Structure 1
Amino acid sequence: MTRTTIPASRSTGVVVGPVRATWLSVESHWLWYRRNWRSSAFSTFLGPVLFLLAMGFGFGSQVRPGAATGGLSYVEHLVPALLVTTAIQNANFDSTYAVFSAFKWSKTYWGAVATPLTPGQVFAGQLTWNALRLGASLAVFLAVAGLLGALTGPAVLWAWVFALLAGTAFSAVVVAWTATRRTDSAFNGLFRFVVMPMTLFTGAFFPMSDLPSWTWPLAWITPAWHGIELSRGAAFGTLGPVALLGHVAYLSALVVVGAVLGRRYFTRRLAV
């Protein structure tokens, strides 16, 4: 019978269980964040709320309920999708500049692997922290939307779950990709040519049928489109079991791919 052992840190030779190691990594992120949360408060919390006010109540006041909105007001139609686009945009910074800084500028990852933590555990802690941050920011957004009367009912809580899944899927892949970067020059391009198109052209603000048909496959491969379909379908009770399984399977596959690649790239870069 083969015994399964937990890999030890090459720096110390001490074994740390994966759950405790992930928690220790998350705790280090939390200790930094609770002292510096003001620096990201606007982009994480206030920015999405202002966008909801501008698009949902400002622009949305000019959009009459109809077939495109399922008979709902525009702001009610928008909120589940805006949860997903908010998750993608918030995950973008935490998965690029924050990760790159820990490799090159602040070098906190290097300090972490000088302890009993392994590179794979450091990656798991980063991804877990990103997911927790996303969950908190989306909960605040949803609470504000509720206070503004923009929710259709308690089923919209499922939109929070699926938005978190979409944001985590995006984060897992991007964190893995960031681990391969030696400069930060590609991050602006990622935002402009990947994140923004995912925000604007995946059905969040207007039906994809208004776009040329050749653009549809490009939207279908994005986590944003799958998240929006899940969130709206769950919130409005139109999500069938086949669509549910298909969208969840695709997003879950992205998480797994990102996790496998992230562990590999973190180990390649941080192993000493």
Structure 2
Amino acid sequence: MAVTGEFPRSTGRAPGAWRGVLLVVEHFWTWYRRNWRATVVSSVLQPLLFLLAFGVGFGTLVERNGSAAAATGGAEYLVWLAPALLAVSAVQSGAFESTYPVLSGFKWQRIYHAMTAGPISPAQVAIGHLGWVACKTAGCGAVYIAVIAAVGGVASPGIVVSLLAAVLTGAAVAALVTAFAATVDNEGPAFNALFRFVVIPMTLFSGTFFPVDRLPEWVQPAAWISPLWHGTELARAAALDRWVPLAALGHLAYLLVLLAAGVALSTRFFARRLAQ
């Protein structure tokens, strides 16, 4: 039910910075544990279907090609693909959770107005939202890892580090998308353009299904600025135990900078919109 009207300001004592964030995360968890069935298809089943279709089905055809082994560094295509799909799932989930749900919090249900009517600040609401997205991504990713392990898609314990890389990638994308969503009033054109021209191309051209060096040279720079490419490189290096320290530090630094920028913009735009 939409919340309407003005929300009076509470005179209660404000919680500590992290206590307020945890209260926001608790709100989302309370809703999710009662309604998780509504999102299980997009957050868990969809990446598993990708894995079965491309890793098991299409992967059989790929491995028949002698050049495929060179492209994957000698790894089975399923094992090579699994950590990339883990990162893709985190990015897609983070992007979706930061579009319509964020707009709903401002425009339809107005839960953000209700939260800040109490002693919780707009910055705590924004960070709490991102914290919940990270928690949900980690939980869904753990389920995904259990399934890919059962079908032979895990080559080493490094897949756990792949999960951390995927969560960081999803959080970086979610932070930027959350900042964008906080400026949106009409969801139709804005979010449609975001998914059609950013999220889907990023999924296809970030080294998920084939190495980036197989793309035309003029397209490769576009892949290098994609957060998903950096996350995929980290996740794949961990899963296949192919660390290149300087490269890994570069990927990690890039994602952390995007996350910091997204958090800063999100807190600023939340405060500006909730003050209106």
- TM-score normalised by L of structure 1: 0.94
- Please, which of 124, 145, 150 is the counterpart of residue 147 of structure 1? 150
Shift of 1:215: 1.2
Aligned to 1:21: 20
- Please, which of 150, 160, 164 is the counterpart of residue 161 of structure 1? 164
Contact persistence 2:12–2:118 (CA under 8 A): no
Query: What is the CA–CA distance in structure 2 between the aligned matches of 1:42 and 1:62, rounded to whole Å?
Result: 27
Query: What is the CA–CA distance in structure 2 between the aligned matches of 1:246 and 1:13, rounded to whole Å?
Result: 45
Query: What is the CA–CA distance in structure 1 between the aligned matches of 2:247 and 2:11, rounded to whole Å?
Result: 48
- Please, which of 225, 234, 238 is the counterpart of residue 238 of structure 2? 234
- Taking every aligned residue pair, what percent have the same amino acid on both sides? 48
Contact persistence 2:156–2:241 (CA under 8 A): no
Number of residue pairs matched by the alignment: 264
Aligned to 1:244: 248
1:16 counterpart letter in structure 2: P
Q: Structure 2 unaligned segments of length 5 or more: list them.
A: 1-7
- Please, which of 187, 190, 204 is the counterpart of residue 208 of structure 2? 204
Q: For structure 1, which segment, 161-170 or 233-242, has the greater mean C-alpha deviation from structure 2 after superposition?
A: 233-242
Aligned to 2:101: 98
Shift of 1:106: 0.9
Q: Structure 1 unaligned segments of length 5 or more: list them.
A: 1-8
How big is the alpha-carbon RMSD for the aligned residues of Structure 1 and Structure 2?
1.4
- Please, which of 255, 268, 272 is the counterpart of residue 259 of structure 2? 255
Q: Deviations over 1:138-157 (max 9, x none)?
A: 11111100011111111121
Aligned to 2:223: 219
Q: Provide the secondary structure at the position in 2 that maps to 1:63.
A: helix
Q: How does 1:83-122 map to 2 (within 5 A)?
A: 83-122=86-125
- TM-score normalised by L of structure 2: 0.92
2:158 counterpart letter in structure 1: A
Query: What is the CA–CA distance in structure 2 between the aligned matches of 1:21 and 1:160, rounded to whole Å?
Result: 27
1:210 counterpart letter in structure 2: R
Q: Provide the secondary structure at the position in 2 that maps to 1:33.
A: helix
1:70 equivalent to 2:73? Answer: yes
Query: What is the CA–CA distance in structure 2 between the aligned matches of 1:46 and 1:115, rounded to whole Å?
Result: 37
Aligned to 1:41: 40
